[in-house]
Amino acid sequence: MSPTKRDYYEILGLDRNASKDDIKRSYRRMAMKYHPDQNAGDKDAEKKFKECAEAYEVLSDPNKRQRYDQYGHEGLRGAGMHDFSRMGFDDIFSMFDDIFGGGIFGGARRSRGGRRAARGYDIETQIEMTLSDVLAGVEKEITFQRQDQCTHCQGSGSEPGHDPQPCVQCGGQGEVVQSGMGGLFRMVTTCPRCRGNGKVISKSCKVCHGQGRQEQTRQLSIKIPAGVQDGQAIRITGEGEPGSGGGPRGDLYCYVKIQKHPMLLRDGDDLVVRVPISFTQASLGATIEVPSLDGRQELVIPAGTQHGAVLQIKEQGLPNLRSSRRGSLLVQILVEIPKKLSRHQEKLLRDFAQSEDKSVMPESKGFLDKLKEYFAGEEKYD
């Protein structure tokens, strides 16, 4: 499983009543603080930079912020979250380019002629499974949300019939050149007017408001292999968000959550069940039925079975993800002592106790021998 995530408000140094402008200002300040160019080779700064980006993605989106405030991190499962830990800095910069105005972070990360082709963002969702699903493998329908190309403007951001025009400030290059110190140096930055696109929208799309993308719900059928582990991610290539500049889509990571079984516990490829038996069954031996994923299984209890003993039924566990070989069903024996006895039962036990030879009981004999040695040792200190 993934490690526990920090609170998004704590990451950006905000309280829960922070306004949209407060969130934007705080993110800009924190991103500049942990910017990789300012902290070359600092892995901790890199991690914090990506944490800030993830926190801003949630808190700047009213719907995601509401879900987070109500349910915490678990409430964001299936909400089309980006996986910032797998993103490069270029992707994060382009994702929040409006925060930085195409200046400090944008300029050196664009090619001339507008935005360069970039891979789309990865997203994640969650799917629940039962142990029976793990045993057989399963194909499931999942529903998730992602930012996708706007169907109204086909991703252009411009209202149909109003094509984007070349930017007059950068001449359609997406970048502007600034000179300083009498021409001794030149600094190339992203054009602040078109934000590196090379084109300016004269009339924004009424559906996506010029963004070129809108949140859409997608349904997908995926195959989960037998033997999958809890918390494991299934990668579905090309089901993430669309890339920019003709770049490929990102991927979808589907995290598996296995539901608790009412009687069986998982231990790797083995299954464990705790079964109570009576004192007489443990003493005399018996044949009992135990639950498994394949139905009822017969188990022979040897005479003299002790409390806590573990008996094994082979190939009644779960399949190994790689070899498909099944584990075992491990049956832990719990010997129950009756709380109430009838007079006849009590008499029988008293008669048994009088005839009992403790010296032939291995556990009792071993304990008594240790007890004698212990007290013998105490006498030496007197």
Q: Return the ∠ at Cα 210 (arms to 208 and 211), rounded to 5°.
A: 70
Residue-wise pLDDT tens for the chain (382 aa)? Answer: 445 788 999 999 888 888 888 898 888 888 878 877 667 778 888 888 888 888 998 998 888 898 888 888 887 876 667 777 766 666 666 666 555 544 444 333 444 444 566 788 888 899 999 999 999 999 999 999 888 888 898 888 889 988 888 888 888 887 887 765 445 556 777 788 887 778 888 888 999 888 888 888 999 999 999 999 998 989 999 999 888 777 888 899 999 999 999 999 999 999 999 999 999 999 999 999 999 999 999 999 999 999 999 999 999 999 999 999 999 999 999 999 988 989 999 998 888 888 876 555 556 666 667 777 777 765 554 5
Q: Which domains does the chain have, with CATH numbers?
A: 8-257 (1.10.287.110), 260-337 (2.60.260.20), 341-375 (no CATH)
* Residue environment code for 276-311, b if the CB has 16+ CB neighbours within 10 A, otherwise e: ebeeebbeeebebebbbbeeebebebeeebeeeeeb
Query: What distance in Å separates the CA atoms of residue 204 and residue 258, rounded to the nearest whole number?
Result: 45
Query: What distance in Å separates the CA atoms of residue 190 and residue 197, rounded to the nearest whole number?
Result: 9
Helix (H) or strand (E) holding 266: strand 265-267
Count CA atoms closer than 13 A to 220's CA, side-chain side: 22
The pair of three-digit structure tokens given for residue 117, joined into one six-digit string? 């082709």
Helix (H) or strand (E) holding 144: strand 138-149
Residue 94: partners with Cβ closer than 8 Å, 6 or more residues away: 106, 109, 115, 118, 244
State pTM to two decimals.
0.59
